[in-house]
Amino acid sequence: MSSSPNTNDRAAFSKWLPWILLLILIAAFIWLFMSMKTPSEATWEPPRTTAAEKQASAPAADTPAPISSYHNAVARASQSVVNIYTTQTMAEHPYMDDPVLRRFFEFHSDGPQGQGPTNLGSGVIVSEDGYIVTNAHVIEKADEITVAFNDGRKSRAKIIGTDPDSDLAVIKVDMTGLTPLGFREAPSRVGDLALAIGNPFGVGQTVTQGIISATNRTGLGVNKFEDFIQTDAAINPGNSGGALVDARGELVGINTVIFSRSGGSMGIGFAIPTALVEQVMNALIKDGRVSRGWLGIEIQSQLRDPTRLETSTGVEVLNVIDKGPAAKSGLKVGDIILTIDGVEMTDANKLIQYVARKPPTTELNAQILRNGKNKQIKIMLEERPAQEVVEPPTIIHDESLGGQPSYHGEGQDEAVMSEEERIRMREELLKLFENDASIQ
């Protein structure tokens, strides 16, 4: 009697079933072993940037071809950057009428009597007929201004106007056919290439390269109105008033100040952006002064604790000037200004810069917080009154300050000797002169 096909199939299945079960058991054991591995036994891999992220962060070249030199940009911009030399006539020393003391001072002086030291800086040509923008501190107290051009020509310059609040000034030479430097229209971005052109230490026109390290820097205490571009392009004494340009040779800002421990460049320099330069320059050329909007309040930023996760924005009103624009609008002490024209006021510096860039008679829409409730107030700006002239600070660089400048005011009265000290000094000098004569 022959077996049926079904019987043979069952026999074959029964034969392979133990092996199949064994393979399943081994696979289950391996899976269980792998899943029970501790994190320390697992292989760690760093996070990877996706293809989309790589594409989004890829640097954009100024031209389709790779850039191997910035010669063309520098050649175009450098013909618009000038070197500025200023001198100041010094008053005669009060003891020069004494022949003995006069001999001493003339022997130890560094030049003709009455001629002060020569200061140096840089400037940027902004018109074909001779207007030049520079820093106000470059030409401060100057009795004579000499401008040296890139092609070797020199000319005397006169002051058109200065704005110490922004540290900008405009001077003019009696020349035509000059090459002005074009202003960059697009705002600067962090990471953009930056080239600083100026006359550091008086060695001659020099170009240094870096990037835009930050924008909208305020609260440095250097100028009254601050909105700096920060760059790591080397800026040194003599670069003040010079050009900060981009890879195309377009003006990005006017180099102004550095933070340094030694007095030389340490990679933290600041330039005034072209938006502010253009505003001040046009006002100085047109009117000889800058007219700014004024609220008539004293303010402070909301106190912030860096250890707290929640943030507090807005600017608190500490005082309202009587009969000022803010007082007329109904703003009160204790109000917190949250926004102006829809722009969030994150701190006092931002509010000051925003208002200063508006002309008088501009109407502002302010959102304030009063007694826990939001309120809208319209304020009509008035012209900022003339401020009391204060001698600018001298920046003293000190290793012990960790790079932060220490400010000491200039203009202190010179120490004047008493009559007894003058007589004693005169006698000592006479003895010194007699000894010198005997030696000869």
Rounded Cα distance between 274 and 291, Å, is 18
Q: Say which of 78, 122, 166, 167 is annotated catalytic.
A: 167
Rg of the chain's alpha carbons, rounded to an integer? 35
Q: Say which of 122, 166, 240, 265 is annotated catalytic.
A: 240
Give catalytic status of residue 137 as yes or no.
Answer: yes
Q: What pairs with residue 208 in β-bridges? A: 196
How far is residue 147 from each of residues 157, 173, 250, 389, measured CA to CA in Å? 7, 8, 22, 27
Q: State the DSSP code for 106.
A: H
Burial letters 23-34, b for 16+ CB under 10 A, else e: eeeeeeeeeeee
Q: State the DSSP code for 183.
A: B
- At 96 the three-state DSSP class reads coil
Burial, 184: exposed, middle or buried (Cβ in 10 Å; 0-12, 13-18, 19+)?
Answer: buried
- At 102 the three-state DSSP class reads helix
Q: Which two tokens stand for residue 72?
A: 């063309």
Give catalytic status of residue 93 as yes or no.
Answer: no
Q: What pairs with residue 377 in β-bridges? A: 366
Q: Say which of 80, 122, 137, 188 is annotated catalytic.
A: 137
Give catalytic status of residue 240 as yes or no.
Answer: yes
Sequence-distant (≥ 6) Cβ neighbours of residue 66 within 8 angstroms: none
Segment (H or E) for 23: helix 5-35
Backbone phi, psi, residue 384, to 5°: -65, 125
Active site (catalytic) residues: 137, 167, 240
